[in-house]
Amino acid sequence: MCRMAAYIGAARHLAVIVVTPRHSLLVQSQDATEAKLAVNGDGFGFAWYNNGLEPGLYKDILPAWSDANLVSLCTHISAPLFLAHVRASTDAETARANCHPFTWRNWSFMHNGQIGNFGALRRPLENSLSDEFYALRRGQTDSELVFLLLLQAGLERDPAQACVNVIRQITENTLKISSKAPVRRTCVISVGVALYAFRYASDGRCPTLYSVVTAGGVILASEPMDPEFGTWSEVEPNTLMRVDGEGGYRTERMERVASPVFVA
């Protein structure tokens, strides 16, 4: 399973989550403690915002610990909002197009988890995309496809409802093929002025995600990074968390996810 982290608040160097903490994202790329796989070496990437519009983006297929540019970039790039991800591939090749984050206009997206039996579900889900969003497909991952489905489902208008709609769509297609493979998703999304995060699993086993309010901002991470940041809290399942530019929280419980269609 992948590991990821994001920050919003006063402008900080990317190193604050990627490099310097005791259990930084760079450390987690080789020694994750709350994932099925301890090593996440199938590429990495980060996106950052300095003007609230389209993000900067850097990603590569090397393991994070092998990229000679990573530490230098993270100690020189400063931004009030950024996302970072290290990848452990489950169903797609190691290619730059399959590395996170994925971006579209001012949106960025990263994901941990998987759609069970994705090989059988990929075609009907891709066929549901409009020509506009299908043309944006560059890789083979379920993660990128989920991002495009969210955009089509109205992510820009109503993020919580878009998440519910896409979970319902995936689940209904899973039931059609009589698959019992679980859907497990933890996502972090940004629109440049806020972070959104949510966790969902059809079998109740959501990939991990934590939050902490620290000096000047808020950090979201797959695993707690450093006790010096403060007390880490688990992001609740079936909840869309929104963190705005002032570090404030606004959460919306996605009760609609409790519909009978979401039976494991």
Amino acid occupying residue 98: N
Q: Which CATH number fits domain 3-262: 3.30.70.270, 3.40.50.2300, 3.40.50.300, 3.60.20.10?
A: 3.60.20.10
Domain ranges for the chain: 3-262
> Using one digit for the tens of pLDDT, what is the confidence trace for 2-53?
999 999 999 999 999 999 999 999 999 999 999 888 999 999 999 999 976 8
Q: 155: buried, middle or exposed (CB in 10 Å: 19+, 13-18, 0-12)?
A: buried
Which tokens belong to 97? Answer: 């197009």
CB 9 within 8 A of CB 217: yes
Cβ 8 vs Cβ 218: under 8 Å:
yes
How many other C-beta atoms lie within 10 A of the C-beta of residue 205? Answer: 11
pLDDT digits (tens, 9 = 90+) for 222-233: 999 999 999 999
Residue with tokens 């991952």: 141
Query: What amino acid positions are annotated as catalytic residues?
Result: 2
Neighbour order of strands in the sheet with 217-221: 56-60, 44-49, 78-86, 3-13, 217-221, 210-214, 233-234
The pLDDT tens digits for 168-197 are 999 999 989 888 889 999 999 999 999 999
The stretches of the chain forming alpha helices (DSSP H) are 15-18, 25-31, 70-76, 118-127, 131-134, 142-152, 159-176
Determine contact, residues 257/200, Cβ cutoff 8 Å.
yes
Computed over every residue of the chain, the mean pLDDT equals 91
What's the pLDDT score for residue 53? Answer: 82
Residue 255 banded pLDDT, cuts 50, 70, 90: low
pLDDT in tens, 107-142: 999 999 989 889 999 999 999 999 999 999 999 999
